[in-house]
Amino acid sequence: MVVLHPLSNFIDSNFVISTAPNYYYEGRCPQSGELLRLPRTQMAEAAACGLMKQLAIDERYSSEGKMYGVLLVELPSGEQRILKAFSGQLHGCSVVEGWVPPIPGREQVALDEARTLAQLDAMKLELIHLKQLPQRQQYETLCHEFDLQWQQLSNHHRERKQQRHEKRQIFCEKLTGVALTVTLEQLDEESRQDGIERRIFKRQRDVTLQPLKELIAFSDARLCELKRQRKELSRQLQAQMHAAYSVMNFLGKSRSLQQLMPLGLPTGTGDCCTPKLLHYAAAHDLKPLAMAEFWWGASSINLDKIQGKFYGACVERCQPMIGFLLSGLQERHRGGDEIPIVYEDEWLIAVNKPTGLLSVPGRGSDHQDSVLSRLRHLLPEGILLNTVHRLDQDTSGILLLARDRQTHRQLSQQFQQRLVHKVYEALLSGTVTTDKGVIELPLWGDPQNRPYQQVDWQRGNKSLTHFQVVAREGYTRVEFIPLTGRTHQLRVHAADFRGLGIPILGDRLYGCCAVASRLHLHARELCFEHPQSGENLHLRVKTPF
């Protein structure tokens, strides 16, 4: 069954990404507690809109409201494809050509499910019959008729009572003795006859309505019992299915839905788009890049969903599983390209750049590997990433990247205005006698000898660095705080005789002759104001030497 579809089936070839993700499917890894995220990008939304156009052609989709989802995936070959899924069943079927199949396990309980569903259907028909009993309408009609007759009788008796009251007053004024007694007894007898007439009416009404009332009461009791039995059967079936359903994550580990959600499983858990799509991707070695879910078709009053609107993961059924489902995604697909992430949110990302890797691609085909190019390849929204500053190829440490243009502009302004606090740690190739101080030298780069920098009092740009010796271990461990950000500033300030006069260990460009495996310069700390929250972020990574 073909379930991997070309992007061209959903997205126009001229489509261009222009904005950051609008939403993240996210959850914490059960083992490490790490926050794992999968974005809903503009490309995923465009693919979903393409699917909506396909659904709009067939009226059957509009009459059967449900969630649909698309997952943008990358094949081991690097090609990108689209997976599509529906929640529950589609036109009464779980397996439909072209759509991701349901999570494995259903076939294990297929016989019990068919038997239970048949019982549930029979109960449903009986419930409908009991609710639509003709005696219910007959009872309502007779009650209405009796109410009208009773009202008429009561009105008639009220008038007669008023007349008798008036007669009593007149007779008491005109008659005396036996004549008055006889006349009043006649009026009392009329009153008793009215009471008898009312009692007879009530008996007739009760005799007529009581059998219907008893039948309806019996039906209502049967309704309650059927609902209870139906609920219990559904619960038992769901428990069987959830124990049998097994989802896989990107570590290759499988868990039953019951293991993932031991405190309770709402109806429909495992049948939603999110677990279907992610399980299929993990089981078939497909790398998820982005996902989007939307509602299509009629919506019940209880759900109140809007056709064509994008929705996030449902809180009760999908959200608790996302952390497990995404576990292993980075390890499985990034491999040797993985760059440790120090901090990440929807606006920016900070990584711990390894030594020997460029911050951004250089000139020539053999200088394209860099932090930026790797992240652009690895992250779904990578095309929007841009470095806010740079580290030398051989310098390790914290490198900050923005995930959208506005964040990039705001962070760049902080660097330009020297509002970012940077701390570097270095190991010098000799002994420095001064414990701390300030180095201020004008640096100039000869265009004919890039990237080499030198001190030039006429053409150079001001550069300023605070330093403090941390330890002397044969070599000298120094903490640098640059107040300006010139190319090779710390390397020149360490090596030049007007600075510390001792090159950084491993810095052959500036005169280090000692044998070393790397340049011993590390961007250890970065402190700045978050451009969106205003929070003061202080990032720090361990020095690797």
Beta strands in 79-157 (DSSP E): 80-86
- Residue from 40, 6, 51 nearest 274 by CA: 40
Beta strand pairing call for 521-529 and 396-402:
parallel
- Show Cβ contacts of residue 490 under 8 Å, excluding neighbours closer than 6 positions: 424, 426, 465, 480, 482, 504, 521
Please report, for residues 117, 123, 241, the alpha-carbon distance to residue 120 in angstroms, rounded to integers and kept in the order given. Answer: 5, 5, 16
Q: Which residues pair with 455 in a beta bridge?
A: 443
Helix (H, G, I), strand (E, B) or coil at 294: strand
Q: Which one-letter amino acid corresponds to residue 39?
A: P
- Residue from 279, 282, 401 nearest 347 by CA: 401
Number of Cβ within a 10 Å radius of residue 543: 19
- Residue from 70, 75, 62 nearest 11 by CA: 70
Q: Please give the distance of CA 405 from its chain centroid, rounded to a whole number.
A: 24
Alpha helices in 38-133 (DSSP H): 42-57, 59-63, 110-131
Q: Which residues pair with 349 in a beta bridge?
A: 344, 401
Could you give the angle at the alpha carbon of 375 between the alpha carbons of 44 and 397, nearest 5°? Answer: 150
Could you give the angle at the alpha carbon of 473 between the alpha carbons of 469 and 475, nearest 5°? Answer: 75
Q: Which residues pair with 517 in a beta bridge?
A: none
Q: 418 with 527: CB under 8 angstroms?
A: no
Could you give the angle at the alpha carbon of 286 between the alpha carbons of 281 and 292, nearest 5°? Answer: 60
Residues labelled as active-site residues: 392
